[in-house]
Amino acid sequence: MHMSLPKAKKKKLIKEKEFVKIAQKVKKSLEQEAKYLLEGRVKNGNSVSHAIYFLP
Amino acid sequence: MEIVYPTQFISSLRGKHLLLDTNVFRDAVSRSTDFSRFFNNLKQNDITLVTVDFVRLELLKGSVNETKYKEKEKLIAEIVDATIPMTPNMIELMYSLIQIYGIDGTALTITDVLLGAMLMQYGDNIALLMRDTTDFIQRVFKLLFVVNAPFGKGIWTYGVYQYINS
């Protein structure tokens, strides 16, 4: 017998324009994080992990 | 280009929960219009979009300041309808899963193990949408559907998985 899942408190639709706007901001953050990790690799030989994934 | 999925995809998940892996959120950042429409289509068809704290943590880590952190939080909140909490039983299932996987589990991340344990815990009430299709082996998890997101340079492919004994 499987447990029951938590119900959503409120199910709301995504407002496309607002979502695109916030996604653009987050994209910049992810690119910045990827750059930071790549620079770290060059300097210290650190693992790049999944960061390259965000590069355009 | 819109996201492409089989006709039965929506009907078979109606009334159920769809668990989103980290890379789905990252892809939604890159292709926000396509994904917002895809997510809304799922929501409108009574599919509850959920995630887990480990996925949230993977997304939130590395934020350069509080503003950036909050922007990510807002993005996650826009997409998901609920976050599934960890239960004590989940840890036991995680141990069970790595035993079932054996050598195939060598490259699994702890987040993958947790997502797998969630599928074991909630059976056919839940499915997982994930891009890294090498992590969920088909002797343990059933590949229900393949979802494709075509774009200018290629196609992102996602697997929709469910625990095989559910």
Q: What is the pLDDT of residues A11-34, one digit of tens each?
A: 789 999 999 999 999 999 999 999
pLDDT score recorded for residue A50: 52
Angstrom distance (rounded) from CA B165 to CA B141: 8
- % of chain A with per-residue pLDDT over 90: 41
Domain boundaries, chain A: 16-54
- The pLDDT of B33-54, averaged and rounded, is 96
Contact present, B26 and A26 (Cβ < 8 Å)? no
pLDDT band at A54 (very low <50, low <70, confident <90, very high): low
Residue closest to B52 by CA, chosen among B135, B6, B2, B119: B119
pLDDT band at A39 (very low <50, low <70, confident <90, very high): confident
Q: Name every chain A residue with its beta carbon within 8 A of the beta carbon of B165.
A: none
pLDDT score recorded for residue B81: 95
Question: At residue B63, does pLDDT exceed 60?
Answer: yes
Q: Which of A26, A32, A35, A52 to substitute to test the interface with B, most B CBs within 10 Å?
A: A26
CB contact under 8 A, A13 and B64: no
Q: How many residues does chain B have?
A: 166
The interface pTM score, or ipTM, of the predicted complex is 0.88
Question: At residue A35, does pLDDT exceed 50?
Answer: yes
What is the 8-class DSSP label of residue B56? H
**Mean of the per-residue pLDDT values of chain B:** 95
Question: At residue B56, does pLDDT exceed 70?
Answer: yes
Instruction: Give the pTM.
Output: 0.90
pLDDT score recorded for residue A56: 44
Domains, chain B, ordered by start: 7-163 (3.40.50.1010)
